Structure 1
């Protein structure tokens, strides 16, 4: 979570599109994002970027180049959509340390096809020799069956832009690993769980990463010295209130051997803390409780105030707050948003990026607040109903 997240980007784009029928509650014009696309004479265009920490994207023939394989995963282990959001935003955040937004242009993965990733995520068999997961041993008992270890794979490409041409400058491959494998003994039957130890998850992840690196090196357009980052992600459980976290990464600058792994020391936590999992720093929990109590006391029509925090070691790196209301009047939403901005400034930890999303009971986004790292004031936007 650095500065603007993917959610902020998409919401800001919505703001630009509906600005004629919506209004800002923040009079600080310094927070208004400015974008400018750059057209080349080679048939592609870059999107421009809102801040120096953002990547420019690639537009080809007037259309954004999407990743056809985005979101491919094992269906029974994909109930927690927060995993996908944490997976994608975490990949981009880790990639910025290796592929600087000031030097590279972001392109959605174009090398690995949807069918390729689907085959890799399958079990190895005579009909699917490229499967990264072990063959089905026919067992139904949770402790005896071969579980699904590798849950999802995604590719991000980082392009060099020189003399009006784009060339592949680097690749990030994210690999999502399960700690729990959900399965059914019979179709439409009850769901059971095979537990996977952390040590086994890491072991199987490294085996899969070595195979993936070797295979990616052999793809068309990838050279022996194309830098490839492989980032390992631990999936959160299906009923978790937070997404998973990246736990390790490696960078291969040439060849297909992995010489070392780097621990990220990243982890995600829920606010307020649960009985089984407290946050690393009690001061952060106290700050959130103060914020939560302040807005609940002033506006009683709230269904819930929760947050997801990401830590590196024991230091909070960023916070995503979700507030569910029972407001229907636009004046109520506007007043509430203004009050939340002040309460967040006074109570939530300073010096870190914070995103706050206010939703109605039906899931409709009513307003959005965001603060960049090191900034004291929040950008706010209320979405009008017309």
Structure 2
């Protein structure tokens, strides 16, 4: 086993906040596919990185609608969060200790594309109709596109010693916070903001229709369903949006009875937001940046992204693009920067710093919460 692979395993474990799991034998089981009325052999990996991560069935099955998310969602940040945020929500409905993850197998490209259409363009369209007599501005104000994409995730459980079957489905409805439109072909692009109250109302109406449709699909008539509403950011944002509400639909039910709020937010640092809950971390970040400025000027900019849950910061990711050319310079910079990470940020905060150049990743520094030493890795060293 070479050094690089060992380091990769170590950092994976550290990022998960745990020690390396033991390697025991994988399990080969039979997966029952209710929609196709057939059985397939699949493997349950023995390794579970952490109790917050699902084990994924092998061979890995790509989503039936794979690829659409990149074209339907505004930024790479929202693409990642629409999927990872749904995984996080799913943990409340489907325990990672007893459920196994698989990408969505029931909503294929044609179905998702059909559902994303306007109702006057496709009978199955979930977005509001827009008549030919409406001007682009009228469409933007009276009938914007609310639903941008649908994310599906499947969760399976063992039903016997050597069998697994679908036991839950999570659906993420990615909603537009801004509707983009043109008044004429090849003309300027205009923006029409969609307020939160409207997004909440329309998202819940769409969710009710989605549940009814899922119940009519082969294999989904009885399984529990969790639906989350995701608010994506503008095309120019460099921080992702978040889920703002979710609901659990019980086994066999086709009706939503209750919605629960999700209090999550990503904040870019440095920030001009005067909200007191961001003030301390913003000060820490600015001090960190200023100290690095004193000794190293060969970088373009430092950007931090803080993840908040229930108004408390959980993690801070920092990106540092550099222009260094010598490996000794990169090593010196990383050593100094790692010390500043430990000095400037609260001991209880998890901080991850990625140093990159035009050649790709150069260094990684990870400060786990409540630890005395950071993990440091210099790539290609």
- TM-score of Structure 1 vs Structure 2, range by shorter chain: 0.7 to 0.9
Q: Deviation string for 1:167-214 (max 9, x for gaps)?
A: 112111111111211122334322111221211111100001101111
Displacement, 1:33? 4.3
Normalising by the residue count of structure 2, what TM-score does the alignment of the two structures yield?
0.85
- SS of 2:334's equivalent in the other structure is helix
Alignment of 1:331-350 (within 5 A): 331-350=328-347
Structure 2 equivalent of residue 12 of structure 1: none
Alpha-carbon distance in 2 for matches of 1:35, 1:246: 34
Displacement, 1:247? 0.6
Q: Deviation string for 1:271-299 (max 9, x for gaps)?
A: 0003x675733111111112222223232
Match of residue 132, structure 1, among 126, 143, 159: 126
- Structure 1 residues 210, 31: CA separation in 2 closer, same or farther (over 3 Å shift)? closer
- SS of 1:159's equivalent in the other structure is strand
Alpha-carbon distance in 2 for matches of 1:70, 1:24: 28
Alpha-carbon distance in 2 for matches of 1:331, 1:33: 31
- SS of 2:336's equivalent in the other structure is helix
Matched, 1:294 2:288: no
Q: Deviation string for 1:197-255 (max 9, x for gaps)?
A: 2111111000011011111222222232x221111111111111211011111111130
Alpha-carbon distance in 2 for matches of 1:308, 1:117: 31
Alpha-carbon distance in 1 for matches of 2:21, 2:332: 27
CA contact (8 A) 1:56 1:106 kept: yes
Q: Deviation string for 1:300-334 (max 9, x for gaps)?
A: 21211111112223211222211111122223223
- Structure 1 residues 113, 23: CA separation in 2 closer, same or farther (over 3 Å shift)? closer
Which shows bigger deviation, 33-42 or 299-308?
A: 33-42
Alignment of 1:141-180 (within 5 A): 141=137, 144-161=141-158, 162-180=160-178
Alignment of 1:228-377 (within 5 A): 228-254=225-251, 255-274=253-272, 280-360=277-357, 362=358, 364-377=360-373
Alpha-carbon distance in 2 for matches of 1:24, 1:199: 45
Alpha-carbon distance in 1 for matches of 2:343, 2:7: 27
CA contact (8 A) 1:303 1:326 kept: yes
Structure 2 equivalent of residue 38 of structure 1: 26
- Structure 1 residues 141, 96: CA separation in 2 closer, same or farther (over 3 Å shift)? same
Equivalent residue pairs, number: 361
Larger radius of gyration: 2
Alpha-carbon distance in 1 for matches of 2:54, 2:259: 26
Which shows bigger deviation, 136-145 or 282-291?
A: 136-145
- SS of 1:286's equivalent in the other structure is helix
CA contact (8 A) 1:178 1:234 kept: yes
Match of residue 183, structure 1, among 153, 168, 181: 181
Structure 2 gap ranges (5+): 31-40
- SS of 1:297's equivalent in the other structure is helix
CA contact (8 A) 2:74 2:232 kept: no
Which shows bigger deviation, 333-342 or 229-238?
A: 333-342
- Structure 1 residues 74, 130: CA separation in 2 closer, same or farther (over 3 Å shift)? farther
CA contact (8 A) 1:23 1:383 kept: no
Structure 1 gap ranges (5+): 1-15
Q: Deviation string for 1:124-163 (max 9, x for gaps)?
A: 12x5111111112332116545211111210111111241
Alpha-carbon distance in 2 for matches of 1:177, 1:356: 30
CA contact (8 A) 1:25 1:382 kept: no
- Structure 1 residues 80, 195: CA separation in 2 closer, same or farther (over 3 Å shift)? same
- SS of 1:97's equivalent in the other structure is coil
Match of residue 89, structure 2, among 85, 91, 94: 94
Displacement, 1:342? 2.3
Matched, 1:83 2:71: no
Alpha-carbon distance in 2 for matches of 1:180, 1:353: 32
CA contact (8 A) 2:64 2:108 kept: yes
| Segments ≥4 residues shifted beyond 6 Å | 20-26, 28-32
- Structure 1 residues 316, 257: CA separation in 2 closer, same or farther (over 3 Å shift)? same
- Structure 1 residues 352, 167: CA separation in 2 closer, same or farther (over 3 Å shift)? farther
Displacement, 1:70? 3.8
What is the root-mean-square deviation of aligned Cα atoms in Å? 2.9
Normalising by the residue count of structure 1, what TM-score does the alignment of the two structures yield?
0.84
